[in-house]
Amino acid sequence: MPVTEPLSTAVLVKETRKRLGLTQLQFAKTLGVSFQAVNRWERGRTKPLPIALKHIEVMVKEMGDRGSDLLKQYFVNESDR
């Protein structure tokens, strides 16, 4: 489960999007949300719903080594519980 602090979530969203080389609009389409939603997440005004956070977690895992630091920093490993 991801960290729920708004600013931490904002950094996670923005960094994930940038590492994937996507614009906010492209990232929004990938997640099935609006551009405005991604923009608000990145500015820390709102947080993604749990289903969107799960999708972001999957995207980070699929990045492999490029996303390993994000995975460690923002997502709790199931075996650590």
CATH number of the domain within which 70 lies? 1.10.260.40
- Look at residue 8 and tell me whether its pLDDT is greater than 50: yes
Q: Which of 51, 68, 77, 63 is nearest to 22 (CA)?
A: 63
Number of residues written out for the chain: 81
Confidence of residue 70 (pLDDT cuts 50, 70, 90): very high
- 18, part of any domain: yes
- 36, part of any domain: yes
Distance (Å, whole) CA 45 – CA 62: 27
Q: Is 32 exposed, middle or buried (0-12, 13-18, 19+ CB in 10 A)?
A: exposed
pLDDT digits (tens, 9 = 90+) for 19-64: 999 999 999 999 999 999 999 999 999 999 999 999 999 999 999 9
Which residue did the predictor score with more confidence, 65 or 77?
65
- 81, part of any domain: no
Q: What is the pTM of this model?
A: 0.85
* Domain count across the chain: 1
Q: Identify the domain containing residue 64 by its residue range.
A: 6-76
- 1, part of any domain: no
- Look at residue 81 and tell me whether its pLDDT is greater than 50: no
